[in-house]
Amino acid sequence: MKAWLVDYLACPSCCGRLDIPAPSPSSHHTRDDNLTALHCARCSTTYPIRNGIPRFPINANVTTNDKVVRTRNTYDFTWQRFGAPEIKQDWEKDSYQYQKLVPADIFDGQNQVGLDAGCGGGADLIKFWRDGVKVIGFDLSTGVDAIAQIVEPTERGALVQGDLHLLPFQRNVFDFVYSFGVLHHLPDPQRGLEGLVKLLKPGAPIVTYLYEKFETQSGWVRFSLWIVNHVRRVTSRLSPPVLLACCWLVVPFIWLMFSLPARITAWMSPNRVEPWPFSHTIRWPVLAADLFDRFAPPVEHRFTQDEVKALYAKCGLERVEVRRYRGWVCWGFKTSETMRDSLA
């Protein structure tokens, strides 16, 4: 575990400061493979460290049949199975397209420390580290283990495993929070966003990506989404291996009906603006991974642009901006009133 990480952690049960049991790492080392636990001096709870990653529990009120646990199991399988280079490369390219919509000065990298809340397989983390930004990756799933070897060589990165509804971080410490494609999979997105806002320094931004409700889109798009949502009620209950096999069976149809025509249309009409489903890739493994991601999560919320702005306003954020790119890329800044609430 990185020695500096402990300065940002807090006990998720009582918000007390966490300490490294003696002997602590020397100031000349950023990682100590002998560390096995963090200890809360206030409530005496101990949290394990495995593979250099602090591990925090899921909310105790969640049962093994709860949707939160099913979501974790889904993404455990996702990041273990979808580690092929071609898939990661496509996801990294996709990540860059989203981040291009966000003002560059939000992630200026100068003495900043940010939180990637729901880092998954690490596509966004990789870009942050390459740009020289110090970021902590946080995820419910074992995706943190899938990227542990990427994190180890750099002082800019650290990883934590835990629950967004039981955050193990101190309040008012981060220069930005980044959470792409995560909040819409929570049972209560507003509660999740409120928790993340409390971690921000006053005036600091949070950037998120949320699914679009498509109310302003054409009728066939809305009808397609209606069908998909009903199918997902069944597919989200399938075991991950069975669902993945089903996705592979559908891939040839998706490629023939959407991906290939989209590529041809883009070549013939470069200025075409209307989005085309599955136009971002023609690689079959990537299509299978995207289908799995679409049909596996047991929880999914969608928002109109006005609903996104209202969500941000309810969480005490100002200067809210929303941009459309296969959904909503949104950001806002923590107000001083929000800071007072987070200290209460």
Domain ranges of the chain: 1-52, 56-62+85-230+301-344, 237-295
Whole-prediction pTM value?
0.85
Instruction: Read off the pLDDT of residues 28-77 as tens digits, 9 standing for 90 and up.
Output: 444 455 678 999 989 999 999 998 899 998 876 665 557 777 888 888 88
Distance between CA atoms of 136 and 141, rounded to whole angstroms?
15
pLDDT value, residue 86: 53
Give per-residue pLDDT as tens, 10-33. Answer: 999 999 999 887 654 454 444 455
Residue numbers in the chain where pLDDT is lower than 50? 24-25, 27-31, 273, 343
Contacts 24+ apart (CB under 8 A), 14-22: 14/40, 14/42, 14/43, 14/45, 15/170, 15/171, 16/40, 16/41, 16/42, 16/43, 17/41, 17/42, 17/170, 18/47, 18/168
The per-residue pLDDT for 76 is 84
Other Cβ atoms within 10 Å of 219 Cβ, number: 7
Q: Which pLDDT score, from 0 to 100, does residue 259 have?
A: 80
When computed from its CA atoms, the radius of gyration of the chain, rounded to whole angstroms, is: 20
User: CA–CA separation, 69 vs 55, rounded Å?
Assistant: 15
What pLDDT score was predicted for residue 23?
57
**CATH code given to domain 56-62+85-230+301-344:** 3.40.50.150
Residue 74 CA from chain centroid, whole number: 14
The pLDDT value given to residue 209: 95
